[in-house]
């Protein structure tokens, strides 16, 4: 049998083995996307065409590998591994990386992703959090080599100072940027509660869409959205805008403006304190003046009431003196008459005439028949008393005392 004769599958395996020898990292293919499709929310297929559409390369990848929004007509660059699929006998590029090329393609990808994230509610104002007015710890995510780092720290110290700044050094553009930025967000959000910054600041200088690619990446936008710590994003110049800006809780126009949004100015706070102090002093003085008027009115009222009471007392006293000349002699006469009556019925005067009072158990005995033989009694005389006992009773209710 001829050694150059292969089965279909054997030959396709040979071709694929040969294709595998081509390093995927060294082959970059550029073209225009056509017939872009997503099947079962998993598999992506599209054609890559030359400008004159004289050559077509079929491409295949998964939705998890796609990091940007893609539409027909976009110019892209792909990296991957060529392969012939045995089942269909077709040559395809198994794409591992895809990136838009040129300002137009980047702008189109940006608009598509912006519309997608906006539809999911990542830009909603209702979910944005306010910042603490006087933060103690700040998490800064930027490159230590960027001018944005120096601008931010300088403005921060000029305005307030004395803060703890935790700096996470990341690339702000290039292939490493997205992974490093999302990693920084993950790091800060997994710190213990007592070590977490009060606010995170993501910042860099200005640039075109290609320079700001990391700040328009879906992974970075979702990392900002998922952050448990409020996020301030300050990218480039005032005219620059990124998807990270729209997702952030607070958008700053520049790195310097980011520092201004994070901390207040000492001068402004001092002026505010002075104004508050002045207002408090004025209100306190108004309150004191008001209380003084009330006290003065109360004092006048009390003085008026006391004068009236003194006048009433004086008038009553004078009337009492006048009337006492009339009724005091009569009272004196009445008291003397009552005294004579009381003296007539005074038991001591009766006892002095030779009478006595008999009691038993503290009760005056009025009837001799109520006493029994052997019962003890007390006899009260005008001078002193004596204890006695009933010796016998006669038939007429008379008793003999002992």
Q: For residue 31, what are its two tokens?
A: 């073209």
Q: For residue 383, what are its two tokens?
A: 């001078």
| Residues composing the chain | 402
Distances (CA, A) of 128 to 75, 219, 242: 35, 19, 17
Q: What is the pLDDT of residues 334-361, one digit of tens each?
A: 787 887 777 777 777 777 777 788 888 8
CB-based contact 366:356 (threshold 8 Å): no
pLDDT confidence band for 53 (50 / 70 / 90): low
For the cut 60, the answer to whether the pLDDT of residue 246 exceeds it is yes
For the cut 80, the answer to whether the pLDDT of residue 7 exceeds it is no
pLDDT confidence band for 131 (50 / 70 / 90): very high
- Quote the CA–CA distance of 116 and 102 in Å, as a whole number: 21
CB-based contact 258:152 (threshold 8 Å): yes
Q: What is the pLDDT of residues 67-109, one digit of tens each?
A: 888 888 888 889 888 888 777 778 888 898 888 887 777 788 8
Per-residue model confidence (pLDDT) at position 310:
86
Per-residue model confidence (pLDDT) at position 239:
67
pLDDT confidence band for 199 (50 / 70 / 90): very high
- Which CATH class name applies to 125-264? alpha beta
Region 294-303 average pLDDT: 86
For the cut 80, the answer to whether the pLDDT of residue 23 exceeds it is no
For the cut 90, the answer to whether the pLDDT of residue 166 exceeds it is yes
Q: For residue 196, what are its two tokens?
A: 């977490």
Q: Tokens 């959090």 correspond to what residue?
A: 129
The closest alpha carbon to 250, from 227, 268, 267, belongs to: 227
Fold of 8-100: OB fold (Dihydrolipoamide Acetyltransferase, E2P) (2.40.50)
More confident residue, 214 or 9: 214
CB-based contact 231:202 (threshold 8 Å): yes
Phi and psi at 126, nearest 5°, equal: -65, -20
Q: What is the largest CA-CA distance in the chain?
A: 177
CB-based contact 224:201 (threshold 8 Å): no
Which range scores top for mean pLDDT: 46-55, 226-235, 312-321?
A: 226-235
CB-based contact 252:148 (threshold 8 Å): no
For the cut 80, the answer to whether the pLDDT of residue 31 exceeds it is yes
- Quote the CA–CA distance of 138 and 252 in Å, as a whole number: 15
- Whether pTM exceeds 0.85: no
Region 202-226 average pLDDT: 88
**Torsion-angle region of 102 (φ positive above 0: left; ψ -120 to 50: alpha; else: beta):** left
Q: For residue 265, what are its two tokens?
A: 């100015």
Per-residue model confidence (pLDDT) at position 191:
95
For the cut 70, the answer to whether the pLDDT of residue 397 exceeds it is no
- Quote the CA–CA distance of 159 and 260 in Å, as a whole number: 8
**292 exposure class (CB count in 10 Å sphere: 0-12, 13-18, 19+):** exposed
For the cut 50, the answer to whether the pLDDT of residue 1 exceeds it is no
CB-based contact 100:68 (threshold 8 Å): yes
Q: What is the pLDDT of residues 168-196, one digit of tens each?
A: 999 998 889 999 999 999 999 999 999 99
For the cut 60, the answer to whether the pLDDT of residue 396 exceeds it is no
The C-alpha angle with vertex 347 and arms to 341 and 350, in degrees rounded to 5, equals: 95
Which range scores top for mean pLDDT: 19-28, 257-266, 293-302?
A: 257-266
Give the residue extent of every domain in the chain.
8-100, 125-264, 267-345, 350-401
For the cut 70, the answer to whether the pLDDT of residue 115 exceeds it is yes
CB-based contact 185:221 (threshold 8 Å): no
Q: For residue 373, what are its two tokens?
A: 């033989």
Q: What is the pLDDT of residues 318-341, one digit of tens each?
A: 777 777 777 777 777 878 788 777
Q: For residue 221, what are its two tokens?
A: 């936008």
Q: Which residues pair with 91 in a beta bridge?
A: 84
- Quote the CA–CA distance of 109 and 94 in Å, as a whole number: 21
More confident residue, 240 or 184: 184
Give one DSSP letter per residue of 139-168, joined into a string. Answer: EEEE-TTSHHHHHHHHHHHHHT---EEEEE
- Quote the CA–CA distance of 17 and 353 in Å, as a whole number: 159
Of 73-82, 142-151, 362-371, the least confident: 362-371
- Quote the CA–CA distance of 232 and 284 in Å, as a whole number: 40
């Amino acid at each position: 049998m001829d050694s150059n004769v292969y089965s279909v599958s054997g030959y396709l395996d040979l071709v694929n083995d040969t294709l595998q020898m081509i390093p995927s990292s060294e082959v970059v293919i550029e073209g225009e996307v056509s017939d872009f499709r997503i099947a079962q929310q998993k598999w992506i297929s599209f054609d890559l065409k030359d400008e004159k559409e004289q050559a077509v390369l079929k491409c295949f990848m998964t939705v998890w590998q796609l990091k940007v929004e893609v539409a027909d007509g976009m110019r892209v660059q792909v990296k991957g591994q060529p392969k012939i699929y045995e089942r269909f006998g077709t040559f395809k590029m198994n794409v591992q990386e895809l990136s838009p090329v040129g300002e137009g393609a980047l702008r189109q990808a940006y608009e598509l992703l912006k519309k997608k994230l906006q539809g999911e509610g990542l830009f909603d104002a209702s979910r944005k959090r306010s910042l603490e007015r006087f933060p103690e710890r700040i998490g800064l995510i930027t490159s230590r080599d960027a001018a944005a780092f120096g601008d931010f720290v300088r403005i921060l110290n000029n305005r307030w100072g004395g803060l703890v700044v935790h700096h996470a050094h990341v690339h702000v553009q290039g292939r490493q940027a997205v992974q490093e930025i999302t990693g920084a967000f993950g790091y800060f959000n997994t710190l213990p509660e007592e070590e977490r910054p009060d606010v995170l600041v993501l910042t860099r200088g200005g640039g075109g869409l290609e320079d700001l690619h990391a700040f328009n990446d879906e992974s970075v936008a979702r990392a900002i959205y998922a952050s448990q710590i409020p996020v301030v994003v300050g990218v480039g110049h005032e005219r620059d805008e990124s998807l990270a800006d729209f997702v952030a809780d607070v958008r700053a126009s520049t790195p310097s403006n980011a520092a201004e949004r994070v901390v207040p100015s000492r001068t402004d706070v001092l002026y505010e304190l002075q104004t508050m102090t002045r207002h408090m002093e004025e209100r306190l003085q108004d309150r004191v003046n008001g209380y003084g008027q009330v006290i003065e009115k109360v004092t006048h009222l009390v003085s008026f009431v006391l004068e009236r009471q003194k006048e009433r007392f004086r008038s009553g006293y004078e009337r009492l003196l006048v009337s006492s000349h009339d009724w005091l002699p009569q009272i004196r006469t009445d008291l003397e008459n009552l005294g004579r009556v009381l003296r007539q019925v005074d038991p001591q005067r009766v006892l002095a005439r030779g009478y006595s009072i008999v009691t038993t158990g503290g009760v005056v005995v009025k009837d001799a028949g109520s006493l029994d033989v052997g019962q003890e009694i007390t006899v009260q005389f005008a001078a002193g008393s004596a204890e006695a006992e009933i010796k016998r009773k006669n038939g007429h209710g008379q008793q003999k005392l002992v």
